[in-house]
A = this chain, B = another copy of it.
């Protein structure tokens, strides 16, 4: 008899070109939004207030972009990364349509590359994962690569293929998840800052000042909300045997914390349009206080749009380390306080 429980795919189970439809579809509700707000405390006005969103042309407040990302990511875990050793990177993540409470999200992944490691014990799996609404329209797409264990070291490796991935999402493709807006209705005082697209300069750095300490109950609630089943986040009994002897916090948790912290300095950066890439530089554990700072890497106008412009940001999150001096690298190596190095595009009123 076959085992009933899912033990996930191992490296040798994947084939380039294969498509996997993921369980479990999920209707996003105002309840999910409230739990997310309680866990991270974002304050971007567009997502916080239906009245504010309606005044600029949305039918109501869209769901936070990162919450949509976490829902899609969570669905991929049982099929893609249940036997992962490490999540290696992201590329070409694009938000393609706004999601509203009541929408149901599905996800699927295409395997776009495979490469066995020289140890023959693991291999790298490249997937393009997509999130869809109930009507089949795509809301999100991203590439992730992850190191996955082999079930059997001696199993033959699938044919090697390493995909070419863009370093950056080109600005001309941004904005699909942001309808044309009427910025005459955008109230900068209510939004919390007078700084708009034109006020930021490439190269400037922003200390987001505040810090948030993370508790075990919080990261587990967040990760369960996303139906992300990666065992290492929930199981202290098993974690006690591991190198860190602690539950490892889902990498997306620090992304959401950094995004919420970034409000203080980027209050009008209301939409994450794309993620160019990201590195989880160090693991996060409960008890740590997370701080963040951002650098404006570039600015871009969007073709045909006078309502919003795009800032390319690097946001760096740190552990137990305030960021007035923007800790990042020293002598080419990552500063030991750095947790996250995220490169992404946000949209702002012009």
Contacts and interface: CB of A to CB of B under 8 A. Distances in A.
Given A37-B224, A234-B211, A190 B6 contact: no
Given A29-B33, A234-B211, A221 B320 contact: no
A25 B55 CA distance: 12
Interface of A: 1, 3-7, 21, 23-27, 29-35, 37-41, 43-45, 48-52, 61, 78, 102, 104, 106, 134, 189-193, 195, 200-201, 204, 206-213, 215-218, 220-225, 227, 229, 231, 234-238, 247, 264-267, 287, 289, 291, 320, 322
Contact of A6 (B204, B224, B264): B264
Nearest to A235: B211
Contact of A32 (B34, B106, B224): B34
Contact of A48 (B4, B25, B208, B289): B25
Contacts of A213: 216, 220, 234-237, 247
20 contacts: A5-B206, A5-B265, A6-B264, A7-B209, A24-B49, A24-B192, A25-B51, A29-B30, A29-B31, A29-B34, A31-B32, A31-B35, A32-B34, A35-B38, A38-B221, A39-B221, A211-B237, A229-B264, A237-B289, A237-B291
A322 B237 CA distance: 9
Number of copies of this chain that the complex holds: 3
A7 B264 CA distance: 9
Contacts of A34: 29, 31-32, 34-35, 225
Contact of A190 (B25, B41, B217, B234): B25
Contact of A222 (B25, B38, B227, B234): B38
Contacts of A265: 3-5
Between A4, A5, A43, A289, the greatest number of chain B beta carbons within 10 A of the residue's beta carbon is seen for: A4
Nearest to A32: B34
A175 B313 CA distance: 50
B210 A104 contact: no
Contacts of A190: 21, 23-25, 106
Contacts of A225: 34, 37-38, 41
Between A7, A21, A193, A213, the greatest number of chain B beta carbons within 10 A of the residue's beta carbon is seen for: A213
Contact of A224 (B40, B52, B289): B40
A235 B220 contact: no
Contact of A49 (B5, B26, B200): B26
A35 to B, nearest CB: 5
Contacts of A218: 217, 220-221
